[in-house]
A and B are shown apart, each in its own frame.
Chain A
Amino acid sequence: MKRIYFDYAATTPVDPRVDKVMRPFFDEKFGNTMSIHSFGQEAKIVLEKSRQTVANLIGAKPNEIVFTGSATESNNLALKGVAFANKDKGKHIIISQIEHPCIMEVAIWLEKQGFEITRLPVDKYGLVNSLDVKKAIRKHTILVSIIHGSNEIGTIQPIEEIGKVCKEKKVYFHTDAAQSFGKIPIDVNKMNIDLLTASSHKIYGPKGAACLFVRQGTKIEPILHGGGQESGLRSSTVNIGAIVGFSKACEICKKEMKKESQRLFKLRDKLIKNVLKIKESHLAGHAKKRLSNNANFWFSFIEGESLVIQLDLLGIAASTGSACSSMKLEPSHVLLAIGLKPQEAHGSLRISLGRWTTEKEIDYLIKVLPKVVKQLRKISPFKKHA
């Protein structure tokens, strides 16, 4: 059976162009960047070149890019690193209610270490109000961390406005841009961003590479201590192959961003328009202020895991925020934050598009989804003929 991938927000396949440049770094050019011989120095030169390319995509200086192993690690470094380096100034941190689980969990952990966390609410589209950020900042606030593009509902936050508020109030501003990086233009200076998380495997690079942009002069402590790689902020042998791939992925995104996002906008809007023709179907997130590759729906009277597995049996890969598919058996905190009731979040379906999504694939989904929804509603004890 032909399989169709609609889960690019979860992870993406490596672009063949990325694959090609990475390969020599696993056998021929495998040196350790810390070695002073030619093998090591060769790797070191490539590492610094890669750093420049990644920095270019967000208007940063190369020395402001810290390579890490994952976006989760970058987010951990940003929050824990800033928290512990600035605890003499204060122990108050502001996040939103719709952060990725790795931010939510770090926040809970920091509370146990004596930090105080404010979790800002969002409106029904998932937007944080920059005025709320302003009001929440106190004398002892040390960091604001707001996700840029939501991994679930795709809503894009007014990062520039929030950045301005943080700059005025002299509070560090971090944004988790794992989903938006490489997909929409980001300028860390124009947007007043002090720290930014980006990931390779969401933009057709390999897994195992990510970065944290740390503005020069930011007070931050490492969470991994050791050989002192990455200016002492992330000790670990440098994963040079993955970083080379990450950098190539950035280069491609920079070149193709405009054209690709326009292509995806069209496909996504076609999908949304047609899926909403299904009775009792709803769009979660903002219609316009949303990532070009994200569509998130919820269907009354049915459950999301069933929906995803039914689609999977038809060769379509998607995702859900239903309680049934979570490890905690709780509905997605993002869907609850935008005001959905638990039973509504139960019927959630996320479709995320990417570089190899075609119009034919969208048409196929539009064709089969109503049938799958109908079939599951037949089994459901709730309203049948919706």
Chain B
Amino acid sequence: MPNGTYSKKVIEHFSNPHNYGKMKNPSGVGRVGNILCGDVLCLYIKVEKNKKGKEIIKDISYETFGCVAAISTSSVVTDLTKGKTLEQALKIDSKKVVKSLGGLPKIKIHCSLLAADALVEAIYDYLSKNKRKIPKELEKKHQRIEKEKKEIEERYKKWMK
């Protein structure tokens, strides 16, 4: 059925989201919320070394409380990230997410930011848990996301137990 708001690709991801669900023993977790609309996204990654000894995102999944755009961006981020090295994964930004979905309505662009932020947070979580050096750029992004997260957690206190 044609939709005047969302691209075909978005609807495809939304009606058949890839890689959703909670992950057992993840290497890193990124939990972010959008202070604008109230969506919440939880992203899990499993990091392993590939044959060349480089760390890659072996597995990735998510849980999303949000709209069509939030769910489809979550889904496409997992597609973009799976099998990539950490360095490659950190280069996936919201622009790339929007592009691979064939565009998003202007008002929904913030949703793509949510998915990209969750990925940043998951990688940050993995690196810091393993006492690894955090790249400057990543640290900066983390600080901004952290600030927004506090507000969202306050809002959803009751459900987050």
Instruction: Identify the A interface with B (CB < 8 A).
Output: 1, 300-303, 305-306, 309-310, 312-313, 315, 322-325, 327, 329, 331, 341-343, 346, 378-383
Contacts and interface: CB of A to CB of B under 8 A. Distances in A.
A171 B36 CA distance: 40
Nearest to B67: A324
Contacts of A313: 1, 11, 15
Contact of A303 (B3, B36, B67, B107): B67
Counting chain A CB atoms within 10 Å of each CB, the highest count among B21, B40, B66 belongs to B66
Interface string B138-161: 000000000000000001100110
Contacts of A303: 39, 65-67, 70
Contact of A323 (B20, B22, B38, B64): B38
B17 interface: yes
B97 to A, nearest CB: 17
B42 interface: yes
8 contacts: A1-B1, A303-B65, A303-B66, A303-B67, A309-B68, A327-B107, A378-B20, A381-B22
A306 B14 contact: yes
Contacts of B107: 327, 329
A343 B156 contact: yes
Contact of A322 (B14, B63, B67, B156): B67
Given A302-B65, A329-B110, 5 more contacts: A309-B14, A313-B11, A378-B20, A379-B17, A381-B64
Q: How large is the interface on B (under 10, 10 to 19, 20 to 34, 35 or more residues)?
A: 20 to 34
Interface of B: 1, 3, 6, 11, 14-15, 17, 20-22, 31, 36-42, 63-71, 107, 110, 155-156, 159-160
A48 to B, nearest CB: 40
Contacts of B37: 323-324, 329
A382 B65 contact: yes
Contacts of A383: 159
B66 A324 contact: yes
B68 A305 contact: yes
Residue of A301, A303, A313 with most partner-chain B CB within 10 A: A303
A381 B65 contact: yes
A326 to B, nearest CB: 9
Contact of A378 (B3, B21, B70): B21
B67 A381 contact: no
Contacts of A327: 107
A346 B38 contact: yes
A305 B46 CA distance: 31
Secondary structure at chain B's binding surface: helix, strand, loop or mixed?
Answer: mixed
Contacts of A312: 1, 3
A382 B68 CA distance: 17
Contacts of A380: 63-65
B159 A306 contact: no
Most buried by A among B3, B38, B39: B38
A271 to B, nearest CB: 23
A346 B34 CA distance: 13
Contacts of A1: 1
Contact of B67 (A301, A305, A342): A305
A341 B71 CA distance: 22
A87 to B, nearest CB: 37
A303 B14 CA distance: 13
Nearest to B159: A382
Given A342-B38, A343-B155, A382 B1 contact: no
Contacts of A331: 38
The 9 A-B pairs at the shortest CB distance, nearest first, are namely A324-B67, A381-B63, A305-B67, A381-B42, A382-B159, A329-B37, A323-B37, A380-B65, A379-B20
A279 to B, nearest CB: 14
A381 B65 CA distance: 6
B3, B11, B64 — which one has the most chain A CB atoms within 10 A of its CB? B64
A346 B68 CA distance: 13
Given A324-B66, A381-B40, A301 B159 contact: yes
Contacts of B159: 300-301, 343, 382-383
A360 B127 CA distance: 56
Contact of B71 (A329, A346, A379): A379
A98 to B, nearest CB: 20
Contacts of B42: 381
A341 B68 CA distance: 21
Contacts of B64: 379-381
Given A1-B1, A342-B155, A382 B160 contact: yes
Contacts of A342: 38, 155
Nearest to B156: A343
Contacts of B11: 309, 313
Contacts of A301: 65, 159
A304 B11 CA distance: 16
